[in-house]
Amino acid sequence: MNGKSILITGGTGSFGKQFTIYLLKKYRNIKKLVIYSRDELKQFEMSNILSEKKYRCLRYFLGDVRDFSRLKRALKNIDIVIHAAALKQVPMAEYNPIEFIKTNVIGAQNIIEACLDSNVKKVVALSTDKATAPINLYGATKLCSDKLFVAADNYSGIDYKFSVVKYGNVLGSRGSVIPYFKKIEKTGTFPITSKEMTRFSISLDEAVKNVGWACKNSLGGEIIVPKIPSYRLIDLAKAINQNNKWKVVGLRKGEKIHEEMITSGDSISTYETRKFYFILADNRNTTIKKFKKKFPDLRKVSKNFTYNSGDNNKFLTVSQLRGMIKNEILK
Cα 90 to Cα 95: distance, rounded to the nearest angstrom:
9
Q: How would you classify residue 15: left for phi > 0, otherwise alpha for psi between -120 and 50, otherwise beta?
A: alpha
Beta bridge partners of 82: 8, 124
Q: What's the whole-number mean pLDDT along residues 119-129?
A: 97
pLDDT (average), residues 211-231: 97
What's the rounded mean pLDDT across residues 246-273? 93
Pick the closest to residue 195 from 238, 241, 224, 137 (CA basis): 238
Average pLDDT, stretch 257-280?
Answer: 96
Domain ranges in the chain are 5-168+204-226+264-308
pLDDT, the chain, mean: 94
pLDDT > 70? residue 188: yes
What pLDDT score was predicted for residue 328? 65
Decide if 253 contacts 91 (C-beta within 8 A). Answer: yes
Average pLDDT over residues 106-118: 97
Cβ 208 vs Cβ 22: under 8 Å = yes
> At 200, which helix (H) or strand (E)?
strand 198-202
321-331 average pLDDT score: 73
Contacts of 323 (CB under 8 A, 6+ apart): none
How far apart CA 230 and CA 309 sit, in angstroms, is 6
Residues with a catalytic annotation lie at 130
Q: Would you say residue 45 has pLDDT above 70?
A: yes
Would you give the DSSP letter of residue 302? Answer: P
In the predicted model, what is the mean pLDDT of residues 225-252? 93
Task: Give the pLDDT band of residue 115 (cuts 50, 70, 90).
Answer: very high
pTM of the entire predicted model:
0.94
Kindly indicate the confidence band of residue 330, based on its pLDDT and cuts at 50, 70 and 90.
very low
- The region, left, alpha or beta by phi > 0 then psi within -120 to 50, assigned to residue 191 is beta
* Residue 330 host element (H or E): none
**Cα–Cα distance measured from residue 111 to residue 98, given in angstroms and rounded to the nearest whole number:** 18
How far apart, in Å, are the Cα atoms of 300 and each of 19, 226, 274, 297? 31, 15, 12, 10
What number is the average pLDDT over the span 168-172?
A: 81
Give me the pLDDT at residue 66, please: 98
Would the pLDDT of 329 be above 90? no
174 against 207, higher pLDDT: 207
Q: What is the average per-residue pLDDT within 215-225? A: 96
Which pLDDT score, from 0 to 100, does residue 152 have?
A: 94
Query: What are the pLDDT digits (tens) for 54-93?
Result: 999 999 999 999 999 999 999 999 999 999 999 999 889 9
Per-residue pLDDT tens for 177-186? 888 898 899 9
Whether the CB-CB separation of 281 and 153 falls below 8 Å is answered with yes
31-41 per-position pLDDT tens digit: 999 999 999 99
What is the widest separation between alpha-carbon atoms in the chain? Answer: 59
**Per-residue pLDDT at 278 exceeds 80:** yes
- pLDDT value for 159: 81
Residue 295 predicted with pLDDT over 90:
yes
The CATH architecture one would assign to domain 5-168+204-226+264-308 is 3-Layer(aba) Sandwich (3.40)
The pLDDT tens digits of the residues spanning 131-165 come to 999 999 999 999 999 999 999 988 777 789 999 99
